[in-house]
Structure 1
């Protein structure tokens, strides 16, 4: 947890007081998404023990996304919010930072077994929702037509998703040879410091009075109500142990950076999206460990 905090603060300090080279964020994110994340997926997926409750960490991502969509559509009608605001909140509060922050935070609290479950939650739950549901929501609330071809292409060409398929095959074949396994782990370990440093570089917090209601509603869902809904689902389904804890923690993660970028690209109230993102990142450093503590983790 100290490493997460230090890397995040370092990024924010560098962005504020130093002169980082142009394109540094894009370069860091490229490495994380195309090298470190696929390597970590390749290392972790063969270690996953598939049991009858493995659906749960994936299901909590769906509950978070579609619950956000329903909640903010209802609140938008009640308070007269614009379609842009409803779309922005659905994206940033329906999709969690389950890789950049989720992987290192879960690993810090539950080690490699927890990390393996976090990878399942992210790659089979959150990523397909971003690639498919995120595009659909962004298109609908910006007045554009969703493109099926774009959704399919985003999923099929995403390096970590390809690594997921390869990792499943490797797991069925008995796992990687020791040398390859060690190599993938070493490459994957670069994800935590670089991802959190990148998050710090991009940290923004622009609070406006007319955004307070939307901001409070968004953060209440993402950091409290969504994990509570996930926990309730797990209790009803009889899910226990680490599977329950990791599924709930992934639902409790801060808003997703990529979702805020998507909101910006589709002109869905980007200032609000970035405010929710920044506030959510800061608050999640306390709320996620608290949720873990309350579940006995």
Structure 2
């Protein structure tokens, strides 16, 4: 429980920094760039190179596949709920995104690391790789299918290749496959990455705090509740079943379940703005699911 209190305090620090004009909401772009391009790749490289061996790869590579599959199923459930509620196209697309995409990186890393340490974080990194694929593929498809602004020059492949955490993960896995370990690199290089890696979690939490807007919750609280049920109720159940089918147990299963239960990803908001989906619905769901997750995730971890 202590880790959730720490996470709440770090997020609150970011939010209060915005409230008291110490930082602006636009500053989150700078923080995100530092995290995505510098700090998070350092964390991913060090964690994989230190904790993964070639014999671990077949089991670990099941994790991104199952996260991807779970997010696709959750998106389909969101589609069915939206059709039942007779939402217009833009709102239906927004609901699909907030049901499908989970915040496995920006909230998943700190939460999993707090609960399970470095071993858990290693598995969270693999889960997040599946989440990145799901975010870009589902986000682009839903944006084109349901959005107003369908003429985007963004290429899914190009976006994947431009996302440093994913590419760092792929490179690190390749190095492990060929038998390299952390000892294969100079000590000064590893120490430099350690310093950069230490900034990952605090900066993620500050950025998340800057991103949250309580006022957005009033625009569609019901959709935030629906997204919370799908993301933190149905998704873990799906993963529980899939874990049994794919013979995943122990820490792998626990991390996979928790990562599947993360709140709606902030990337949903990016896609909503880019393609002209219902931004208010998505912003409301992102805020509500994030707040709900801070209460649900410790309970879920206790059950596990």
The answer to whether TM tops 0.5 is: yes
In the alignment, the residues of structure 2 paired with residue 60 and residue 281 of structure 1 have an alpha-carbon distance, to the nearest angstrom, of 22
CA contact (8 A) 1:8 1:196 kept: yes
Aligned twin of 2:9: 6
In the alignment, the residues of structure 1 paired with residue 188 and residue 262 of structure 2 have an alpha-carbon distance, to the nearest angstrom, of 33
**Of 276, 287, 294, which residue of structure 1 is paired with 2:296?**
287
Are residues 1:88 and 2:91 paired? no
Are residues 1:79 and 2:89 paired? no
Aligned twin of 1:207: 217
> What CA deviation, in whole Å up to 9, does each residue of 1:85-122 have, x standing for no partner?
22112212211111111111101000101101111111
The runs of 5 or more residues in structure 1 that have no matched partner are none
| 3-state SS, counterpart of residue 263 of structure 2 | coil
**Of 105, 114, 117, which residue of structure 2 is paired with 1:108?**
114
Are residues 1:48 and 2:52 paired? yes
CA contact (8 A) 2:10 2:202 kept: yes
The runs of 5 or more residues in structure 2 that have no matched partner are none
| 3-state SS, counterpart of residue 268 of structure 1 | coil
Q: CA RMSD in A?
A: 2.1
CA contact (8 A) 2:269 2:279 kept: yes
* Count of residue pairs brought into register by the alignment: 293
Are residues 1:223 and 2:232 paired? yes
CA contact (8 A) 2:71 2:101 kept: yes
In the alignment, the residues of structure 2 paired with residue 131 and residue 21 of structure 1 have an alpha-carbon distance, to the nearest angstrom, of 27
> What CA deviation, in whole Å up to 9, does each residue of 1:125-154 have, x standing for no partner?
011112222111111111565879711110
Are residues 1:242 and 2:247 paired? no
> What CA deviation, in whole Å up to 9, does each residue of 1:12-52 have, x standing for no partner?
11112234257421111110010011111111222224254
User: How far is 1:286 from its partner?
Assistant: 1.8
Name which of structure 1's ranges 103-112 and 163-172 shifts more when overlaid on structure 2. 163-172
Aligned twin of 1:26: 29
CA contact (8 A) 1:65 1:95 kept: yes
Cα–Cα, structure 1 residues 167 and 53, in superposed 2: closer, same or farther, change >3 Å?
closer
Aligned twin of 2:42: 39
Aligned twin of 2:159: 154
TM-score, normalization by structure 2:
0.89
Name which of structure 1's ranges 273-282 and 87-96 shifts more when overlaid on structure 2. 87-96
Cα–Cα, structure 1 residues 81 and 23, in superposed 2: closer, same or farther, change >3 Å?
closer
User: How far is 1:270 from its partner?
Assistant: 0.7
In the alignment, the residues of structure 2 paired with residue 258 and residue 120 of structure 1 have an alpha-carbon distance, to the nearest angstrom, of 18
In the alignment, the residues of structure 1 paired with residue 153 and residue 170 of structure 2 have an alpha-carbon distance, to the nearest angstrom, of 22
In the alignment, the residues of structure 1 paired with residue 297 and residue 16 of structure 2 have an alpha-carbon distance, to the nearest angstrom, of 23
